[in-house]
Structure 1
Amino acid sequence: MAASGARRAHDAQRGDEDGKRTGVLRHGMVFALFGAGLLLWSARCVMRNVPVAQHAGPVAAVIVTACGAISLLVGVWCFLRV
């Protein structure tokens, strides 16, 4: 009886770890896709010499690019934690 109880506790703990991994992977995917999309969009705007937002100057393009790069790095960091 004690062995089966210990096994259930071990399986429950492993299930919690799997849930954490799934959450980290999900968050990493969201951050990576958002960051990559933001970088591609801002690069396209800069290459076409179009503002990234209505009535925005070149500083906005730098801010958007930095946010995209940070988001992509956070996504990669999440993937490395798994």
Structure 2
Amino acid sequence: MFDLLTVLVRSDLSKDVEVLVLRHENQVLHRQLGSRPRWGGADRLWLAALSRLIHRRRSAEVFPVTPATILRWASQSRGT
């Protein structure tokens, strides 16, 4: 929770730089693993919750999964 508050008070430039660093780190990890990551239940829930905060046009730039994947996870968790 403290991390969330810290992010809210930081400048846009600082946030943008952090996003770029994290995206680069993600690309490096993908190259090293050679496969797609496996998302656990808590990871799926977190991504689904955050997906509501991003405009749909930007979701492909921000999220490692598509909106269709998030919907599929939701239907699987409900057992349908």
> Would the TM-score normalized by the shorter structure come out above 0.5?
no
Larger radius of gyration: 1
Question: Structure 1 length as normaliser, TM-score?
Answer: 0.32
Question: Structure 2 length as normaliser, TM-score?
Answer: 0.32
Q: Structure with the greater relative contact order (CA < 8 A, sep ≥ 6): 1 or 2?
A: 1
> More helix per residue: 1 or 2?
1
